[in-house]
Amino acid sequence: MGWMPEERELWKTILADVREKTGLSFNWMEFDTKDKTVAHAVLPILATWVATVPSDPLRHAIYTKFSTPHAYPFINQLIEWWQREDFELCVNSLTQTISSLAKELDAQRIWNVLRARGKRRSIDYLLLVKLCAFPKISKEVKDLIVDDIHGRDLRAGDLQEISKVDDPRIRDWFESQINSSNRHVQVLARRIRARRMSLPSGVELSKAPPDRARELFSTEVDLDSLITTLSKLHLDMDIEIPQSLGNLGFLSSIETNRWLKIGPTKSNFIWLRLEDVDTVELVITAL
């Protein structure tokens, strides 16, 4: 884990405290707080240690244990820790956890903290996008995001988060970037535009992944290379390529990690899954 000897000893002390107070004994980091019983027993004890742990990596180890739906009772403490932290790993861990746990009754407080800080960290956009879902502050948050996309030099990851926000001003900005020199931004712009498209005939979202026992071929390719790969499969394996795949623009409208099923053709199904904004997994299965 790369900890210093004193950090390892302190973690042993924390585990001993857990064992003494709960009767539960764990080896090092091997306890899963996504288990409700474990979370309810262990998280209150870990919370008491945060203020006294001087080591950034050790606090981060504690914070990761709050990455569970069962940590919601600690949302106020998580926000307090998040306000005080400046160690990047800790900030990122806490931001991700707060984003996953936050409910509407927490939104105003989180929004107040973000506004009061002024300067935004890149990870803050994950939280800002979450706050857009809460009606009482949604307009204010979206206004800030719109100002940022016009006035700040945002990272590709920031823009990827922002692209999830349903707002006509944000959609218009992304569509204006369709010819951007930044390939990542260009791909995001194509995705925004493609959201207006419906799936072609013969293409459907699948609730289940392809049956790998019937797999004939699989690969991962850049989205821009998919047509070339399909054409090669047609020549090399006599795979029939439906007309619906003549224009792959609709792919940009699909959420990542969702399987699309195309076919059947005369002898196979074609499956596509976006891994990220510009990489696609292609699988061919027999009928």
Q: Indicate whether 130 and 148 sit together in one domain.
A: yes
pLDDT tens by residue, 174-229: 889 888 888 888 888 887 776 666 778 888 888 899 999 999 999 999 888 888 99
Higher-scoring residue by pLDDT: 228, 278: 228
% the chain with pLDDT above 90: 53
| Model pLDDT, residue 152 | 87
Q: Indicate whether 104 and 162 sit together in one domain.
A: yes
Q: Indicate whether 175 and 223 sit together in one domain.
A: no
Alpha carbon distance 137, 197 (integer Å) = 30
Neighbours of 91 (CB within 10 A): 19
Q: Indicate whether 24 and 157 sit together in one domain.
A: yes
Kindly report which listed range (60-74, 94-108, 128-142, 270-284) carries the lowest average pLDDT score: 270-284
pLDDT tens by residue, 97-131: 999 999 999 999 999 999 988 788 999 999 999 99
Alpha carbon distance 92, 116 (integer Å) = 18
Q: Indicate whether 12 and 124 sit together in one domain.
A: yes
Assess whether pLDDT exceeds 60 at residue 1.
no
- For 87, the domain range is 5-194
φ, ψ for residue 106, nearest 5 deg: -95, -15
| Model pLDDT, residue 205 | 87
Q: Indicate whether 133 and 229 sit together in one domain.
A: no
Instruction: Return the CATH number at 241.
Output: 3.30.450
